[in-house]
Amino acid sequence: MPVKITVNNNGSLRIEGDFGIFDAQGAEFGLAGRTAISLCRCGHSENKPFCDGSHARQGFASVCAARELPPIKQRA
C-alpha cells in the first residue's frame, strides 16, 4: 500500500501505509507493527514526535487545504 499522509484540521499528521520513522541520527523508531500513526503538529505532545491528543486541550488551530506547490527552481 502506498504511503498516505493526511493533514488533519486542528490536529495531527496521520500517516498510513508501509513506512518507517527515523530520528536525526538515522535510528528507526519501533512502531510495533503499526501501519498507521499520527505525528504531532502542535508541539505540545508529551510523546513527540507522536500525537497524544494535546492539540485538543491546547486549542491548536490550523486548517490546511490542498494546493499546488510552485515548480522547483533549478540551481545554477
36 has a pLDDT exceeding 90: yes
Quick one: what percent of the chain has pLDDT higher than 70? 100
Is the pLDDT at 16 greater than 90? The verdict is yes
CATH of the domain at 48: 3.40.5.90
Model-level pTM?
0.88
pLDDT band of residue 50 (cuts 50, 70, 90) is: very high
In a domain, 22, yes or no: yes
**Mean of the per-residue pLDDT values of the chain:** 95
- The answer to whether residue 52 is domain-embedded is yes
Residue 48 lies in a domain: yes
* Number of independent structural domains in the chain: 1
Question: Does residue 9 form part of some domain?
Answer: yes
pLDDT tier at 75 (50, 70, 90 boundaries)?
confident
DSSP 8-state assignment for residue 17: S
- The whole-number pLDDT of residue 55 equals 96
Residue 69 lies in a domain: no
Q: The domain containing residue 47 runs over which residues?
A: 1-64
